[in-house]
Structure 1
Amino acid sequence: MPSYLGQNFLEDIKYKKIILEIIEKSKKEFAWENLIEIGPGKGSISKYLVDKYENITFFEKDENFYNIIKNFKKEKQKIIIGDVLQSNLNNFNKNKTFIFGNIPYYITSPIFKKFFVENNFIGGLILIQKEVGKKIKSDANKKSFLRWLLNYGYEIKYIETVPAKAFNPIPKVDSCLVYLSKLSNKKNINLEEVINFLDIVNRYKRKTLGKISNIINKKGIYKYNIQGEISKKRIEELNWDDIKYIIDYNKE
């Protein structure tokens, strides 16, 4: 039963146990009532979840796996076959729904944006490529664009490296587990303004902010006056206070 959607299925029982333990801890932390699993595939994790949690929705794009999931799901649990990125999530209580998923590498960013930027679910445990996890965690030294978007509303912890050999078929890179917890207080800065700023400067991310400021001002792309110590930093070196300062300063 082949899958053509870039899925690598977790086989190692050690990491399955870790996932199940973390999901159980999240239930106590958030008191969530609903669980969404993205891409259950052959059910390597799903078959352990169905007996433990009553309300589960499985989003699976590959129709080949429908009958597998249907055979072990319980009465109140739902299977939605189709592209989760096109799904309407309005029927879910975002503050009572936890997300779990083993995400194919090529749709990592769209999945994160769908569930944690656009819809702000309470939290999640996501299995993704190791290098992506290192760049989006809250204490990352080098910060990706996606990291800024996610950390606006969440604390992100890098939980565990999951080696390639734990999967079948074996991918070319290692994976990791990241844990997202929704913040009770978001950053004191407008997200739309952050996105506008990053959209403009991110195309020159290898340069310092001072050089970027000169380039975009000369090209007439936008006017950002960036001076002082901040001008010596690169985008990946900024913190939230730096970004807020730049945005607020340039409003004046």
Structure 2
Amino acid sequence: MKHSHSARIVPKKSLGQHFLVDDNISRKIVASLSVVPGDVVVELGPGTGALTRFLMERGSPLKGAAYVIAVELDPEAIHFLSSLGLGDGLKLVKEDMLKLDFNALSKEFRRPLKVVSNLPYNISGPMLARFFDFRHTIDEAILMLQKEVAQRVLSPPGKKTYGVLSVLLNYGYWVEGLFQVPRGAFRPIPKVDSMVIRLRKRESPPKSLVADHAIFKRLVRKAFQKRRKKVRNALFPFNGIDERGAFERCLNEANISPDLRPEDLSVEDFVDLANVLYTHLDRSKGS
């Protein structure tokens, strides 16, 4: 079943807008979100309200959630959503999702957040990276992504699709692919298919805690800039460790063969190496 709300707003290429117009898909996405009474649901980029209308059942948030906070940058969409009269439990926030402070929102409402979004294709990468930064604040997220991006998030080590997002998100969340969405469910029709995934916060990391998150992110990003090189070359020099012998001792301490390629390293391998490098750098500062 298609709805006609999107006809009233012209999608903006600059914002990467492709409006979801299939109500059955909208219902399925919203039904995938685990909501209990009192939850705070954040919808990123609601656009014409394809998901918002189902998050706000009969004028109240889904399943007794305290609020649905719809974060939208497009003033035209904000005006349109406010005209729908969806209920007092809907809070419209004009904000760039790439600048949204999830920690401040969580603190304001004194609870973790649930997130749902049909993410704009043109900012899905940087937005997904932010989920790593806010992994302690976001309990669960149901996200519709370009299929290719979703496959990168879901990818295991050793695959060509395995990369930065695979490592960062699988460190902070249990990641699950839910279902595919055909391009005909959108207006304008995109050139790619989409996929819906679930991120569910890990209560504990895959193996051990990252000692320094900045070093961990820097390590992962550097690794996949030269993904076809061996680890000994892809990651050296790193963060002030510019003596090759010292770097290879760090690899050895983390039980990582210098002849592996970055795409062969598991999330746990990256954690171990980041922690060894952090300890080495910490000792260097103290000496």
TM-score above 0.5, yes or no: yes
What are the within-5 Å matches in structure 2 for residues 209-224 of structure 1?
209-212=231-234, 216=237, 223=244, 224=247
What residue number does 1:143 align with?
162
Equivalent residue for 1:27? 35
2:81 pairs with 69, 83, 88, which one? 69
Unpaired runs of at least 5, structure 1:
none
RMSD of aligned Cα (Å): 2.7
TM-score when normalising by structure 2: 0.75
Instruction: Tell me which of 26, 43, 57 is aligned to 1:16.
Output: 26
Q: Does 1:91 find its partner at 2:105? A: yes
Q: Which residue of 2 aligns with 1:121?
A: 138
1:38 pairs with 2:57: no
Q: Deviations over 1:69-94 (max 9, x none)?
A: 11232113211123122334303257
The equivalent residue for 1:131 is: 148
Q: Which amino acid aligns with 1:127?
A: M
How many residue pairs align between the two structures? 246
Q: Which runs of 5+ in 2 are unaligned?
A: 1-8, 281-287
Letter in 2 for 1:241: E
Please name the residue that 2:219 is paired with. Answer: 197
| Counterpart-to-counterpart distance in 1, 2:163 and 2:243 | 22
Alignment match, 2:264: 237
Using the TM superposition, give the Cα deviation of residue 137 of structure 1 relative to its aligned residue in structure 2, in angstroms.
1.9
TM-score, length-normalised on structure 1?
0.85
8 Å CA contact 1:32, 1:97 repeated in 2: no
Structure 1 pair 15–76 and aligned structure 2 pair: CA distance change class (3 A): closer
Task: State the distance in 2 between where 1:247 and 1:12 align.
Answer: 44
Taking a change above 3 Å as real, the CA distance of residues 248 and 83 of structure 1, as seen in their structure-2 partners, is closer
* Per-residue deviation, 1:133: 0.7
Matched residue, 1:82: 95
For the 8 Å contact 2:224–2:263, the answer to whether it is kept is no
Contact 2:174–2:201 (CA<8 Å) still a contact in 1?
yes
What letter matches 2:154 in structure 1?
K
Q: Deviations over 1:165-221 (max 9, x none)?
A: 1111111111110100001012413333322322433321121213435x648x975
Alignment of 1:145-224 (within 5 A): 145-187=164-206, 188=208, 189-190=210-211, 191-212=213-234, 216=237, 223=244, 224=247
